[in-house]
Structure 1
Amino acid sequence: MRKLATTVAASALIAAGMTMPAAAEVDFSGKTIEWVIPFSETGGSAKWANFFAPLLSEELPGNPTVVVKFMPGAGSTKGANWFQEQEHEDGTLMFGTSGSTQFPYLLGDPRVRYEYADWIPVMASGTGGVAYLNTEDGAKFDGSANALKDTDFIYGSQGATRLDLVPLLAWEMLGMSVEPVFGIKGRGDGRLMFERGEATIDYQTSSGYLGGSQAMVDDGKAVPMMTWGALDEDGNIVRDPTFPDIPTFKEVCEATEGCATEGEQWDAWKAFFVAGFPVQKISFLPAGTPDDVTETYVKAFEAVRSRPDFAELAAKQVGKYPMFVGEGAAKATTTGTTVSEDAKTFVQNWLQEAYGVSLK
């Protein structure tokens, strides 16, 4: 009866040439948006969020202050588990993930108490990664890893079940001896270990490389080895558009004795590369966020993407990669949180054999 009365009242208003009051538009005037990143302030995710935060502030109604906050721990699962417990209040909370948050979820890490399907993706972007060597070992690199196989490398790692599994598996496929030092809070901490000489090999996502490691290369203190590459429209690995002069891992593998770009090991590596990099960083709103608030964020990120200077700004700070919003972000999230059972099983077995990590 209540529904019928409401319908009759609305019809009467329309018949009288009147309209029902529109819902109030979302307005963030005077508010502060907290964008929580589950890593340290030195890594690529920090640079990614800090790049987008002021642009988002300009496009959200009311121009709120967008503050990036950091919650490192347990390779990002600490922050993700915390976000899982958050519910919508007033639209002033966002959360940013990376491949290091996606991989524990994909692998069934027992520390994972979060569910991507509960969150609301509003923006996602791809990235790349660059592996590099110190100058002494870099002098031996000739496009293959053949001359690097007798060297014992040290690498600062967040953990084998994080995004680091992509470089760790790649280096093993190349026949290199790389000893990870586990426990760092973010890739920026790995770069600091390299700078201090405590590590002899490192890798950074594109934003971290552009914001920190590139300077070491320019100063002659590091030598680029390879990127993970990018995907073309047919799903083939091609050169990273941000670093077109650096060979891909696929190229280095093809040039290295004993490394194969086909078979079970390669298929598993590629599956996790696809899950971790083309859709590497995602921004979410918490469960229960109303549609009008979600749409407000989607429109704001769409406005950021449509800026005439966006491509130039992004190329310098986060790289030349696709940015997805709204439905595109939702589809990208599905891609980034899905791998085949064969790839999952292979990596689980490899983690057990190589590092004693049991996820079954």
Structure 2
Amino acid sequence: MNYHHTTALAAIMAAAMGTTAGAQSLEGKTVEYVIPFSESGGSSQWANFYVPLLSKALPGAPTMVVRYRPGAGSTEGANWFQGQQDKGDGTLIFGDSGSTKFPYLLGDPRVRYEYKEWKPVLASATGGVVYLPPDLGERFDGDMDDLKDEAYLYGSQGATTLDLVPLLAFKMLGMTVDPVFGVEGRGDGRLMFERGEANIDYQTSSAYLANVQPLVDDGLAVPIFTWGALDNDGNIVRDPTFPDLPSFKEVCEATADCPTEGVVWDAYKAFFVAGFANQKTIFLPSSAPQEVVDAYTAAIEQVVNAEGFAESAEEVLGAYPQMTGAAAIEATEQATTITPEAKQYVLDWLKEDYGITMD
């Protein structure tokens, strides 16, 4: 992140501390910000961007630390947080991702957490970029017709994690992609690509900006499309962070036999929304009293409305909405709901292509 932006924001936060001073103070306390992933992916980038800003904006300016609890596609960490619902004094917050929402949507038996009990205070949209090695990327011309017959290897956290979106997209494009399951995070998938063990990858925007853009600059990777973004009417449009890249929908429309309507498209869009349009959410435990929720809401609003925030956030997270208050609650409701038809299509596909069942 640009140092000048960071120091400018810190000064703004310090000057504005009085706006939340009347709330329950966290002075002298330590807030644990738990992320159910490893330190190498986009969730780490996201959490570590917000931590110094939130620490200054919260009443009492508490110390904030990021704790990593990876495992089972993030369900282990989410199950752990479900067991901490009595810790609502403001010293514990949890940051999920689409990889946490997907098993919930699919009825995965590993899931012992209930989103409806948690209290969202920030909903962050994000994006993602698919990229290829130079020898394949230079052949991309807006559709996958000339590239779909290649054999692809993709490092994956699992078909029911956030990787569901790319795996379904690759199928819709008619590509032959052999996922190598078992990587701990998308950062590990990127390392496979760098070592030549995978020849297609995607990263969420924050991790792409930090770790893949340098590869592109050095001629070691070629971006081909993004997942896109939602406009105010719910339509998929180009990603505002990468406006020169086509969206998946554009590539799908240009590729023979790739559906952009009907149940397959509806299933893709449902998981795109859960995985990207509200990809990361910060929650307080269910026992958090309203005054604690209000303190976090006020602090986050103070952060995201501060002069210079949008520019600093775009450098690290991309140019995406950061929603709080009622908007965060609504976004979380949308991101944790799926139609029965779309759910059944995905369950059938997972069983047929990967032998995965949810029972």
Normalising by the residue count of structure 1, what TM-score does the alignment of the two structures yield?
0.92
CA distance in structure 1 between the partners assigned to 2:259 and 2:333 by the alignment: 29
CA distance in structure 1 between the partners assigned to 2:330 and 2:262 by the alignment: 28
Structure 1 stretches of 5 or more lacking a match?
1-23
Q: Does structure 1 residue 309 correspond to structure 2 residue 308?
A: yes
The letter of the residue matching 1:267 is D
Cα drift, residue 33 of structure 1: 0.8
Q: What is residue 27 of structure 2 aligned with on the other side?
A: 29
Cα drift, residue 88 of structure 1: 1.7
CA distance in structure 2 between the partners assigned to 1:288 and 1:257 by the alignment: 52
After TM superposition, list the pairs within 5 Å mapping 1:176-195 onto structure 2. 176-195=175-194
Q: What is residue 221 of structure 2 aligned with on the other side?
A: 222
Q: What is residue 275 of structure 1 aligned with on the other side?
A: 274
RMSD, aligned CA: 1.3
Q: What is residue 9 of structure 2 aligned with on the other side?
A: none
Cα drift, residue 232 of structure 1: 1.4
The letter of the residue matching 1:35 is Y
Q: What is residue 262 of structure 1 aligned with on the other side?
A: 261
Q: What is residue 67 of structure 1 aligned with on the other side?
A: 65
Q: Is the 8 A contact 1:275 1:339 kept in 2?
A: no
How many residues in Structure 1 have an aligned counterpart in Structure 2? 338
CA distance in structure 2 between the partners assigned to 1:139 and 1:123 by the alignment: 39
The letter of the residue matching 1:228 is W
CA distance in structure 2 between the partners assigned to 1:93 and 1:176 by the alignment: 43
**What's the CA shift string for 1:184-229, capped at 9, x where partnerless?**
1111111111111111100111111111111111111001011011
**What's the CA shift string for 1:112-150, capped at 9, x where partnerless?**
000001111111110011111011111221111111122
Cα drift, residue 247 of structure 1: 0.5
The letter of the residue matching 1:251 is E
Cα drift, residue 40 of structure 1: 0.6
CA distance in structure 1 between the partners assigned to 2:130 and 2:32 by the alignment: 32
CA distance in structure 2 between the partners assigned to 1:187 and 1:177 by the alignment: 20
After TM superposition, list the pairs within 5 Å mapping 1:1-150 onto structure 2. 25-86=23-84, 87-88=86-87, 90-150=89-149
CA distance in structure 1 between the partners assigned to 2:136 and 2:100 by the alignment: 31
Normalising by the residue count of structure 2, what TM-score does the alignment of the two structures yield?
0.92
Cα drift, residue 90 of structure 1: 3.2
Q: What is residue 205 of structure 1 aligned with on the other side?
A: 204
Structure 2 stretches of 5 or more lacking a match?
1-21
**What's the CA shift string for 1:306-357, capped at 9, x where partnerless?**
1011100111000111111122111111011011111100000000011000
Q: Is the 8 A contact 2:267 2:346 kept in 1?
A: yes
CA distance in structure 2 between the partners assigned to 1:258 and 1:78 by the alignment: 38
Moved over 3 A (4+): none
Larger radius of gyration: 1
Give the secondary-structure state (helix, strand or coil) at the position aligned to 2:281: strand
Q: What is residue 239 of structure 1 aligned with on the other side?
A: 238
Give the secondary-structure state (helix, strand or coil) at the position aligned to 2:146: helix
After TM superposition, list the pairs within 5 Å mapping 1:318-357 onto structure 2. 318-357=317-356
CA distance in structure 1 between the partners assigned to 2:116 and 2:206 by the alignment: 27
Cα drift, residue 89 of structure 1: 5.3
Cα drift, residue 62 of structure 1: 1.5
Q: Is the 8 A contact 1:28 1:63 kept in 2?
A: yes
**What's the CA shift string for 1:261-318, capped at 9, x where partnerless?**
1222112111211222111100001121111111111110010011011100111000
The letter of the residue matching 1:182 is F
Give the secondary-structure state (helix, strand or coil) at the position aligned to 2:180: strand
Q: Is the 8 A contact 2:105 2:337 kept in 1?
A: yes
CA distance in structure 2 between the partners assigned to 1:270 and 1:186 by the alignment: 23
Give the secondary-structure state (helix, strand or coil) at the position aligned to 1:307: coil
The letter of the residue matching 2:78 is A
* Structure 1 pair 150–299 and aligned structure 2 pair: CA distance change class (3 A): same
Question: Which range is displaced more, 313-322 or 255-264?
Answer: 255-264
Q: What is residue 11 of structure 1 aligned with on the other side?
A: none
Q: Is the 8 A contact 2:88 2:285 kept in 1?
A: no
Give the secondary-structure state (helix, strand or coil) at the position aligned to 1:154: strand
The letter of the residue matching 1:235 is G
Give the secondary-structure state (helix, strand or coil) at the position aligned to 1:226: strand
Cα drift, residue 25 of structure 1: 3.9
Q: What is residue 5 of structure 1 aligned with on the other side?
A: none
Identity of counterpart residues, as a percentage? 63
The letter of the residue matching 2:45 is K
CA distance in structure 2 between the partners assigned to 1:75 and 1:311 by the alignment: 30
